[in-house]
Amino acid sequence: VPKASGDGHAGARAGRVSRTRSGQDGEGPARGVTIAYLAERAGVSVPTVSKVINGRSDVSEETRRRVEAVVREYGYQRPARPDQRADLLELIFHELESPWALEIIRGVERVAGVQDVAVVLSELEGRRSPGRDWLAGALRRRPTGVISVFSELTEAQRSRLTARAIPFVTIDPTGEPIHETPSVGATNWSGGYAATRHLLELGHRRIAIISGPDLIPCCRARLDGYRAAMDAAGVPVDGLVHFGDLHVEEGVALGRELLAQPEPPTAIFAGNDLQALGVYEAAHQVGTRIPDELSVVGFDNLSVARWAVPRLTTIHQPLTEMASAATNLVLQLARGEAPAQTRIELATSLVVRDSTAPPRR
């Protein structure tokens, strides 16, 4: 039995032969499994296999499963379509609330534009995993690849994409750290470490952290970087670790709590720039001056960090570059190439601005 694209990266095997390569070697169907062969193995007709592969809905659930199982077993290489419509890349966002999303979009557009791939944008309206509607639509569009941002495809969705040789990549993965899905993230642990060491070097000791939710790996990694830097400096963290959602409002609420303590922190490392802006507002409300009485460090380095008054010291997360890397990765997988790496972390870096200064005491 011929086995197509058998070296596949689990979870995102890219079965499609690149047009150039298939044009050059000209081996044709012998190279991969044909639809007729798959139909025979699944005990269904050729049009039925074709329907499943093309994401049509007029196939019974049971037949669909059977065909998908056979496709998974034997693999399938979608033939080059010389007169196909332009290639589409599906970009799925958990939510489009934050300017954060815009940096990602720009990075994807940058690469997609050059490679002549159109970007289809979907928003999950805050859910961490796309629903059935999204999948049905995406399969009908027969995309070249799928990029999910800060959200995870379900096991079933991954399986259906894999069965259609549609590769997928996650930017800033939210699930299990040891995952099989190709992904692009940032060095969050190092970023947390760098932010904390900057504050320690300025002379701070009571450095509070407002971490994002503990179960999200990027947030946990930042927190662990903070802990490591505090440990290395021999500074205890008791009572200084707090958790909150990555939004401005949470920064205001937790900032107010922290500043109302009998012995408030002299510095706050926020979970991201938006939380840091919330801390600005909290400080303003209680009359605490930044950086004279309170140092604040953010994470992400969004435009708003530059626009804040005083300008926010933060950890630069190369979101645009991450998005470009993810786009390149998914397009490589779609061409059937084997990328050197399928789990990439780009470097973060400290950007010192005007919101940090030595403590007054």
Can you tell me which residue has the tokens 């662990």?
Answer: 224
Q: Does 311 bind a copy of itself (CB under 8 A)?
A: yes
273 neighbors 300 (Cβ within 8 angstroms): yes
Specify the stretch interacting with a copy of itself by CB under 8 A; choose among 116-124, 196-204, 259-267, 331-339: 116-124
Using the rule CB under 8 A, give the single segment among 102-110, 170-178, 203-211, 228-236 that binds a copy of itself: 102-110
Q: Which of 46, 69, 119, 346 binds a copy of itself (CB under 8 A)?
A: 119
**Which residues ranging from 185 to 244 are in contact with a copy of itself (CB under 8 A)?**
none
Is residue 358 at the binding interface for a copy of itself, with CB under 8 A as the rule?
A: no
Which of 37, 150, 280, 299 binds a copy of itself (CB under 8 A)? It is 280
Can residue 287 be called a binding residue for a copy of itself (CB under 8 A)? no
Which of 4, 14, 105, 135 is close enough to bind a copy of itself by CB under 8 A? 105
Token pair, residue 168, equals 């997928």
Q: Looking at this protein, which amino acid is placed at residue 262?
A: P
* Cβ–Cβ under 8 Å, residues 54 and 48: no
303 interacts with a copy of itself by CB under 8 A: yes
Residue 120 interacts with a copy of itself (CB under 8 A)?
A: yes
State yes or no: residue 325 binds a copy of itself (CB under 8 A): no
Helix (H, G, I), strand (E, B) or coil at 262: coil
Question: Minimum Å distance from CB 77 to a copy of itself?
Answer: 21
Nearest to 269 by CA among 198, 328, 340: 198
Closer residue to a copy of itself (CB): 13 or 247? 247
Residue 325 CA to residue 290 CA, distance in Å, equals 36
Question: CB of residue 311 vs a copy of itself: minimum separation in angstroms?
Answer: 8
How far from 135 is each of 109, 139, 141, 156, CA to CA, in Å?
A: 22, 6, 10, 10
Closest to 312 (Cα-Cα) out of 203, 198, 176: 198
Determine, following the binding rule CB under 8 A, whether residue 288 of this chain makes contact with a copy of itself: no
Among the residue ranges 145-153, 196-204, 259-267, 271-279, the one whose residues contact a copy of itself (CB under 8 A): 271-279
- In one-letter notation, the amino acid at residue 308 is A
Strands 267-270 and 207-211: parallel
Shortest Å distance, C-beta 296 to a copy of itself: 11
Write down how long the chain is: 361
**Helix residue spans in the chain (DSSP H):** 19-25, 35-42, 46-53, 61-74, 99-114, 132-141, 155-163, 188-201, 217-232, 248-259, 273-286, 303-307, 319-334
Q: Which two tokens stand for residue 48?
A: 């039925």
The footprint of a copy of itself (CB under 8 A) covers 56, 83, 85-86, 88, 96-97, 99, 101-102, 105-106, 109, 113, 116, 118-123, 133, 137, 140-142, 248, 274, 277-278, 280-281, 284, 303-304, 306-311
